[in-house]
Amino acid sequence: QVQLVESGGGLVQAGGSLKLSCTISGSFYSRDPMGWYRRTPGNQRELVAMFSSAGRKDFNGFAKGRFNISRDKNMVFLQLNSLKPEDTGVYYCWASNSRGIDSWGQGTQVTVSS
């Protein structure tokens, strides 16, 4: 089993930045796909950014040029820059193992005021 714990959410003004952190524990490998999803009000959960099993960074279109994903040992980070009110939502850390089983964190709230 894999456990993921997010931190770093909060309230920020439009144009500001936040850095989200996710600590991963349990049975995982550095090559396992991992990354961040979000759920904004009224919408389904969507991919923000991820590391593929090959180590490639993939970004959803809205995240390109504003957000960055990075990792260090058992932690994965999401740097949020130039935040917009429409980025408000709950951000989830995610990892998938070799059998395709997904694990999720509890989520961290990001609120961007206009």
In single-letter form, the type of residue at position 57 comes to K
CA distance 24 to 2: 7
pLDDT score of 100: 85
pLDDT score of 28: 85
pLDDT score of 63: 98
pLDDT level of residue 83 (50, 70, 90 thresholds): very high
Q: Are 52 and 27 in contact (CB under 8 A)?
A: no
pLDDT score of 21: 98
State the residue for tokens 């949020």: 80
More confident position, 29 or 75? 75
State the residue for tokens 């193992």: 97
Write the pLDDT tens digit of every residue in 45-80: 999 999 999 999 999 999 999 999 999 999 999 999
CA distance 53 to 55: 5
pLDDT level of residue 1 (50, 70, 90 thresholds): confident
